[in-house]
A and B are shown apart, each in its own frame.
Chain A
Amino acid sequence: MSTTLNASRRNFLKTGALLGSGLLISFTVPGAKKLGGAGAAVLGPQSGAAFAPNAYLNITADNEVLVYLAHAEMGQGIWTTLSMMIAEELDVDVNKMVVQHGDAWKPYNHTMFGIQITGGSSTTWSEFDRYRKAGATARALLVQAAAQKFGVNPADCKTENGVVTAGDKSATYGELATAAAALPAPGDVPLKDPKSWKYIGKGVKRLDTPAKINGTAKFGMDMQFPGMLTAVVLHAPVFGAKVKTVDSAKAKAVAGVRQVVQIPSGVAVLADNYWAAKKGRAALKVDWDLGSGVKVDSGTMLAEYKQLAQKPGATANKAGDVDSAMSKAVKTVEAEYTFPYLAHSPMEPLNVTIQLKDGKCEIWTGTQMPGLDQGAAAQVLGLKPEQIRVNTVFLGGGFGRRATPSSDFVKEAAEIVKASGKPLVKMVWSREDDVKGGYYRPAFLHKITAGLNAQGLPIAWKHTIVGQSIMEGTLFAGMIKDGIDGSSVEGVSDSPYMEAIPDRLVTLHSPKNEVPVLWWRSVGHTHTAMAMEAMIDELAHTAGKDPLAYRQELLKHSPRHLAALNLAAEKAGWGKPLPAGRFRGIAVHESFLSYVAHVAEISLNEDGTIKVHRVVSAIDCGLAVNPDGVKAQIESGINFGVSAALLGEITLEKGHVKQGNFNDYVVARMFDTPADIEVHIVDSTGKMGGVGEPGVPPVAPAIANAYFAATGKRLRQMPFNKANLPA
């Protein structure tokens, strides 16, 4: 992070300040690989090598545009989308840009969330102004430099493909970089009229595809350095268990094993390679003090949750007098929905590489929160955060698992380095470490009673939610207000259906246990959308109304829900006959500022299990910056949702997680997923929303509602596997 500063650089950083949406802008720029790398780059105008108008892009004298991402690429496509925003305003060929992740560094803090984080399906909308302004400001300075060089008015200059022209004169951005770098910051620079957009809203192919199909893309797992040791950790068999005694004699005798150390989370084996480390781990003899975690058992937990749901918890949403209104209802419907723990299981198991050298530390990992990881590693290693450089590399999937408030995996790797004294270590988790390692989507239970009037419309809604808080005990605990972790009730307490019901009560119980829990792609909406949309469907049938028409009636004041709902229904041919044995279900849900409706088409296999053939989807996310990227994310969300709906389940017995790998923590394979997925984007001028997560929530209820259409039976227990299907 060492960077020198000079007077003229300060001017450029004023430029940065106006981009910052109120952020503190540090007077440093991230290391650029062409200019020294390793955080030691000096990218001022004095170097004559680069134009670094802000933290988000540099232009080198040889005409290369370097883009620095404030967010991490984990599949969601922001490598491309953020680059498009700069390219659009800078007038360069997006395909020629060199893209890299930014360091852990304040200018990369989220424009809304205040820390450096990739999450909440927020990258595109939260960076839309900052990245466009970064490009526009750089362009303005380059034009000014060109105008001076050509002796013309800036207004007479044009820019295209990285070249400024005025009449018969022209200069590349690279040629102008040094001069531009010496200019003072411009005032507020106007952004382009959307009518002239070349990339935004049109689309660009993913810039990271070539590297991801020929083996050259580097994930954390691929970090290799001479002299590096690989560490694997024998983790506690039960959450919260502590090591009592370690017999490492046999482990140390394994060829290639170099060291065995005890760390707070278990016992680490360091070896020349993963295989030797894993063999060493298998040879360890460790006695554990299992602690209170042995009391956690999925079966008894469900019974406890059912018991808790008999009484109201902390109030999340209350209006009128629900009991009185319920007593006046013509019909009441009661249902209980249950949801298991779920592991994220990204394809790349967690890993972290740490190097300690000359009092400095470098970390290479795929992370969604590099700033917190930097702080956590600093604390373990006794360093200052600024002595640690976090190199974010491609994430082999995240889904929330690589955003732990506790920085569990980075901290564990730092503990290994600290305990072993080894300066260069790559910690690698096995798939079993991942599946058994916690930080799950919490198990939840929803108990709902709804009362209908003579017209079949809901007039009373009583809803109790039970499940662990993901914020409790973390540095985000302050977000819990009056006993309500908003992430446990999102999608229920703020549901548009609620607004239409005058008497309602939504309450929450947040029981605690030893199992670490975390946000999991679409967070609370993973369960709330199922509870709401399955219940609404049930009410529609109770009222004798078509599920689509019933929703249209209840959502008549929610135009964006309606737009998605109507488009999906139309494209799916709602109401039109289906081939024999095929059945449809519909669901709509808002999450992360986007509105998604799915129509699922299913049939039943011979053994009664569900086959999903087709999902027709519509999303209103406001402006779709990269439309095919939006479609790809919704496709991805649908398949992630199908996996959870039909297969996903983590269970515990006496504190031990019963699953361990993809053989028993089953995730969707190609044949499990719909052969036909259609995604339609609502032509919308609404506020921009996210796309990484919103495709997930409506999947399970659309399938469950289709199952009702097929069988007349309601699915209320996830996953909808053989064991949980109604008899």
Chain B
Amino acid sequence: MVKLKINQKEYSVDASPDMPLLWAIRDVVGLTGTKFGCGMAQCGACTVHLDGEAVRSCVTLVSRAVGKEIVTIEGLSADPDNYLQKAWIELDVPQCGYCQSGQIMSAAVLLRENPNPTDEDIDSAMSGNICRCGTYPRIRKAIHLAAKMQREGGKDK
């Protein structure tokens, strides 16, 4: 048993220390918003935050996550001021939707560190997240929109 703190909640998880965090989150804890896409840190569908940093949970061992704050898409969604999700809705970003949890988790770290990203900043920060539906132009626009909302600090209403 290892203890994991996911989205502010403590879990006792029956997982071997070499199990990637992704499978502990999905198969053992049962939070399925974090997705499996490649298993080798290529696609970013499994992106979660570990002490605020975006990590690919498919190659992050459970042992590395012990004692750290883990935030998944479910945790991020609990924040009512999440401009990213508002922007994603506004611009109708998702298509199949499978990669979008990971896209949003990566974008959240970008916006925290760079509140006013350029297209190049976005391309660079999002380069680890693949979308086979090719929603990239809308993701880019949505990040700009979320950045604008964040800078203006207002609620959307």
Contact = CB atoms under 8 A, between A and B. Distances in A.
Interface of A: 74-77, 205-206, 208-219, 221-222, 224, 230, 255-256, 272-275, 278, 345-349, 394-399, 428, 430-431, 628-629, 632, 635-640, 642-643, 661-663, 667-671, 673-677
B137 A635 contact: yes
Contact of A662 (B31, B43, B97, B126): B43
B122 interface: yes
Closest 9 CB pairs of A and B: A215-B33, A639-B134, A212-B97, A396-B98, A75-B95, A75-B96, A273-B27, A662-B42, A222-B32
Contact of B93 (A209, A222, A642, A643): A209
B124 interface: yes
Contact of A221 (B35, B40, B93, B126): B35
Interface in B62-91: 72-74, 77, 85, 88-89
A18 B124 CA distance: 55
A347 B16 contact: no
A217 B140 CA distance: 22
A456 B63 CA distance: 70
16 contacts: A75-B96, A75-B97, A211-B97, A213-B93, A216-B33, A272-B27, A347-B131, A396-B35, A396-B96, A397-B98, A399-B132, A431-B40, A629-B92, A636-B135, A661-B38, A662-B38
A435 B88 CA distance: 30
Interface in B96-137: 96-101, 104, 119, 122-124, 126-127, 129-137
Given A209-B94, A210-B89, A347-B99, A640 B35 contact: no
A561 to B, nearest CB: 24
Contacts of A638: 134
Interface of B: 16, 19-20, 23, 26-28, 30-40, 42-43, 45, 72-74, 77, 85, 88-89, 92-101, 104, 119, 122-124, 126-127, 129-140
A397 B27 contact: no
A236 to B, nearest CB: 20
A431 B37 contact: yes
Of the listed residues A205, A218, A275, the one surrounded by the most CB atoms of chain B closer than 10 A to its CB is A275
Contacts of B94: 75, 206, 208-209, 212-213
B89 A636 contact: no
B23 A274 contact: yes
Contact of A668 (B27, B96, B134, B138): B134
B89 A219 contact: no
Of the listed residues B98, B123, B138, the one surrounded by the most CB atoms of chain A closer than 10 A to its CB is B98
Of the listed residues A394, A640, A670, A676, the one surrounded by the most CB atoms of chain B closer than 10 A to its CB is A670
Nearest to B122: A670
Given A213-B100, A396-B96, A273 B28 contact: yes
A609 to B, nearest CB: 16
Contacts of A217: 97
A667 B130 contact: yes
A399 B134 CA distance: 12
B95 A215 contact: no
Contact of A209 (B72, B92, B127): B92
A33 B127 CA distance: 40
Contacts of B27: 224, 230, 272-275
Nearest to A203: B92
Contacts of A431: 37-40, 42-43
Given A348-B37, A349-B36, A213 B89 contact: yes
Given A205-B89, A215-B73, A677 B137 contact: yes
A346 B132 contact: yes
B19 A275 contact: yes
B11 to A, nearest CB: 15
A640 B100 CA distance: 17
A213 B133 contact: no
A430 B58 CA distance: 12
Nearest to A256: B16
A668 B134 CA distance: 8
Contact of A214 (B20, B37, B74): B74
B127 A215 contact: no
A446 to B, nearest CB: 26
A400 to B, nearest CB: 12
A75 B94 CA distance: 7
Contacts of A77: 95
A505 to B, nearest CB: 37
Nearest to B33: A215
A345 to B, nearest CB: 6
B36 A346 contact: no
B20 A347 contact: no
A347 B132 contact: yes
Nearest to B14: A272
A397 B132 contact: yes
Contact of B96 (A345, A348, A670): A348
A396 B97 contact: yes
Nearest to B73: A215
A542 B93 CA distance: 43
B95 A632 contact: yes
Contacts of B31: 215
A77 B135 CA distance: 13
Contacts of A642: 134
Given A632-B138, A635-B137, A675-B119, A663 B40 contact: yes
Given A397-B133, A636-B133, A628 B123 contact: no
Given A230-B27, A347-B43, A212 B100 contact: yes
A282 to B, nearest CB: 12
Contacts of B139: 670
B85 A76 contact: no
B40 A255 contact: no
B36 A213 contact: no
Contact of A347 (B26, B40, B93, B96): B96
A635 B132 contact: no
B137 A673 contact: yes
A507 to B, nearest CB: 34
Contact of B77 (A214, A274, A637, A676): A214
Contacts of A632: 92, 95, 135, 138
Nearest to A275: B23
A348 B98 contact: yes
A277 to B, nearest CB: 10
Contact of A215 (B16, B72, B93, B99): B72
B105 to A, nearest CB: 10
Contacts of A209: 88-89, 92-94, 97
Contacts of A399: 132
A224 B32 contact: yes
A638 B119 CA distance: 19
A538 B114 CA distance: 47
Contacts of B127: 669-671
Contacts of B123: 670-671
B133 A75 contact: yes
B37 A347 contact: yes
B130 A347 contact: yes
A256 to B, nearest CB: 8
A215 B74 contact: yes
A221 B30 CA distance: 12
B37 A349 contact: yes
A215 B19 contact: no
Nearest to A212: B97
Contacts of A75: 94-97, 133
Given A215-B34, A278-B39, A349-B36, 12 more contacts: A209-B97, A213-B100, A214-B77, A219-B35, A230-B27, A273-B19, A345-B132, A347-B99, A347-B132, A635-B137, A669-B127, A675-B140
Contacts of B23: 273-275
Nearest to B139: A670
A430 B20 CA distance: 14
